[in-house]
Chains A and B, each alone.
Chain A
Amino acid sequence: MKSIKNTWQREEGGIDFVQLIVGLMIIAIAAVGTFQALIYGYEQLDYEMRYRKAVSVARSYMEYWQGRIHTDINLYDRQVLNGNLGRPEVLLLDERDPTIDYDDVYCQVSYGPIDMVDLPTTGVGTDHFNLRVYVTWWEPEQREDRPPHEILFHASMVPAAL
């Protein structure tokens, strides 16, 4: 300890080779950390764009079913009775880099069976319909054995507007 103090005392304001290397290593570690933070922020912004688009996809399917219930509902239709759970439609969610195809992000869209709710107190038959639309997707770099990101839209529609 004494000898180190002596060394520092003798030093005439400059830095030696070891100090320079240590300094550069600290700068390098700090730069890596900073870039990782910037990349994380950039990925989060990208995720938000995909999330918004997935909401738009879910809403489009919800509009389809609201229109069907309004004008063109067949209660014995296979689509109405079963939905398409288990065999979802696949849509392009985000193209990402336009020069390559293998980084594209796709989503799966499924809808549950349309539930017809008949309240016993009203006596008018079906009082309202319950609809559910699911949009799921995996983020880039996300392992497929992890749970996907999911948006669930759940709506009820009364046939009184018919």
Chain B
Amino acid sequence: MIALKKRLKCDSGWTFIEATLSVVIMAIMVLGLTIVLMAFREHLDRSWSIRVMDQYGNDVIERLTHELRNAVDVTVRPSVRNTHKIDIQYLDPYVHDLYHTNTWRADLQRSQILIDNDPIDKTFPPRSPGRGESFQIIQFTLSPYGQLTPNDSERRDSFNRASNFVNATYDIRFKLRYNRAAVNPGERNWKFEREYRNRVYMRNKNLIVKKGITE
């Protein structure tokens, strides 16, 4: 200990060993920190895009749920790929016996959900996506309870239910995909899919309000 103290005390500069060790340790730290920061940045980029997609998925589901709750009838038509065109009929709140219809559909080219050809959210997909980023609509369907479901118990249950229940209970399924294509050598393509779903019981379909009696 005394010898070490003496050596440190009379240390008037850097020895070759100290300098080499310092360079090696700093190089390892800088390299490690750079790798961690780059990985973290990539992670944050993906995470941000997934959160933007998640917000859009929830917005679409919420808005469609709200419209179906207040609607008096709905018609579902097949559309391109795994999507439906959904015509939602609702009563005018001020004029007796006046019906309006909104048509919902998926625009697969622009990856947007449109209501009467107007996008629900003009900011999705983002105008300036990151490198290699893109979004895709994989599924946009509205099906009566027990149909198009991966849940066997629901399918079995639907056969035991009354027709006015099955005809008024709909499952919304909206599946989005986030793609991150490889740009630099050594990178790999990456994708992330998430399904958003909700069930709506269209109570107005089984009520007298459907006939236009609102008071």
A53 to chain B: closest residue by CB: B196
Does A76 sit at the interface, judged by CB under 8 A?
no
Name A3-54 residues within 8 Å CB distance of B. Answer: 3, 7, 16-18, 20-21, 24, 27-28, 31, 35, 38, 42, 45, 49, 52-53
- CB atoms of B206 and A71 under 8 A apart: yes
Does A70 sit at the interface, judged by CB under 8 A?
yes
Pick the residue among B22, B33, B191, B196 that contacts A98 (CB under 8 A): B191
Does A56 sit at the interface, judged by CB under 8 A?
yes
- CB atoms of B169 and A67 under 8 A apart: yes
Q: Cα distance A68–B164 when bound, in Å?
A: 10
Q: Which residues of A contact B201 (CB under 8 A)?
A: 63-64, 66-67, 70
- CB atoms of A21 and B25 under 8 A apart: yes
Q: Which residues of A contact B40 (CB under 8 A)?
A: 35, 38
Does B26 sit at the interface, judged by CB under 8 A?
yes
- CB atoms of A70 and B8 under 8 A apart: no
Name A83-109 residues within 8 Å CB distance of B. Answer: 89, 91, 95, 98
Q: Which residues of B contact A66 (CB under 8 A)?
A: 201, 203
B22 to chain A: closest residue by CB: A20
Does A156 sit at the interface, judged by CB under 8 A?
no
Q: Cα distance A66–B169 when bound, in Å?
A: 10
In the complex, how many residues of chain A place their beta carbon closer than 8 angstroms to a beta carbon of chain B? Answer: 35
Q: Which residues of A contact B47 (CB under 8 A)?
A: 42, 45
- CB atoms of B29 and A28 under 8 A apart: yes
Q: Which residues of A contact B171 (CB under 8 A)?
A: 60
A35 shortest CB reach to chain B, Å: 7
> Chain B, 184-201, contact with A by CB distance < 8 Å: what is the 0/1 string?
000000011110111111
Q: Which residues of A contact B203 (CB under 8 A)?
A: 66-67, 70, 161
Name A57-75 residues within 8 Å CB distance of B. Answer: 59-61, 63-64, 66-68, 70-72
> Chain A, 113-146, contact with B by CB distance < 8 Å: what is the 0/1 string?
0000000000000000000000000000000000
Q: Cα distance A23–B28 when bound, in Å?
A: 15
A39 to chain B: closest residue by CB: B40
- CB atoms of A49 and B169 under 8 A apart: no
Q: Cα distance A28–B28 when bound, in Å?
A: 12
Pick the residue among B25, B51, B199 that contacts A24 (CB under 8 A): B25
Pick the residue among A20, A21, A31 that contacts B33 (CB under 8 A): A31
Given A63-B169, A67-B168, A71-B168: 19 more A-B contacts, CB < 8 Å: A24-B29, A35-B40, A42-B47, A56-B197, A56-B198, A59-B199, A61-B199, A63-B198, A64-B169, A66-B203, A67-B169, A70-B165, A70-B203, A72-B162, A91-B151, A95-B192, A98-B192, A98-B193, A161-B203
**B residues engaging A (CB < 8 A)?**
8-9, 11, 14, 18, 21-22, 25-26, 29, 33, 36, 40, 43, 47, 51, 54, 58, 61, 145, 151, 153, 161-162, 164-165, 168-169, 171, 191-194, 196-201, 203, 206-207
Q: Offer 20 A-B interface pairs, CB within 8 angstroms, sorted by A.
A: A3-B9, A17-B21, A18-B8, A20-B22, A45-B47, A45-B51, A49-B51, A49-B54, A60-B171, A63-B200, A67-B165, A67-B203, A68-B165, A71-B162, A71-B164, A91-B151, A95-B192, A95-B193, A95-B194, A98-B193
